[in-house]
Chain A
Amino acid sequence: QVTLKESGPVLVKPTETLTLTCTVSGFSLRTARMVVSWIRQTPGQAPEWLAHIFSNDEKAYSTSLKNRLSISKDIGTGQVVLTMTNMDPVDTATYYCARMDMAPIKFDFWGQGMLVTVSS
């Protein structure tokens, strides 16, 4: 049974760095066709893809946010970590991690999401 679960702070201050962890189970981060992505969504808006990491450690980032993002993984613990620097109130959103099956391409499993609020 595949599951993903997000964890991290629910409240961060402006200019701080956000660190989110996605803990996966039911599949391995070594599996060649599986990619773990971070996606965020504000109420009433479309999901916004942030970053993903492949089994071979190749990474990709949103063009608009790439200067603020970093993604990494730990195969042993089954965790994917996203850091986002210089947080701003406009970054307040629900943050999801999701598994993308690359063959074919679809987000087939999602975490429940966690609301992160940026406020002083």
Chain B
Amino acid sequence: DIQMTQSPSTLSASVGDRVTITCRASQNINNWLAWYQQKPGKAPKVLIYKASSLESGVPSRFSGSGSGTEFTLTISSLQLDDFATYYCQQYNSYSGITFGQGTRLDI
């Protein structure tokens, strides 16, 4: 199975800060990577797909980059609504789907 390693696991930041979360895959996943935001008691919500494509309706302060085994999610200017947990997710047709362990973004 492909392992996804996210860092950091917890991140403390303030409104207006720029933050970056990293996700590393244990093998090349090309650009089949998505990023999700999850708030307590809710299902995850897709932010970025195919490594760098912004989901419709998601604010442009969210951006994704990377390919191969290393990927990043950047929030350019944190808003109060952004404090949540973030997960990366990969897809591989042979081994299936795995999620990173998550990054909790705290105020």
Contacts and interface: CB of A to CB of B under 8 A. Distances in A.
Contacts of A37: 97
A59 B11 CA distance: 37
Interface residues of A, number: 24
Interface in B31-60: 32, 34, 36, 43-46, 49-50, 53, 55
A96 B13 CA distance: 30
B34 A110 contact: no
A46 B43 contact: no
Contacts, number: 54
A106 B97 contact: no
Chain B facing A: main interface SS: strand
Nearest to A96: B43
Which bucket holds chain B's interface residue count?
20 to 34
Interface stretch (A25-33, A60-68, A72-80, A84-92): A60-68
30 contacts: A45-B102, A46-B99, A46-B102, A47-B87, A47-B89, A47-B99, A48-B99, A49-B97, A49-B99, A52-B97, A60-B96, A61-B96, A62-B96, A63-B1, A63-B95, A98-B43, A104-B49, A105-B32, A105-B34, A105-B91, A106-B49, A106-B55, A107-B34, A107-B44, A107-B46, A108-B46, A110-B43, A110-B45, A111-B43, A112-B43
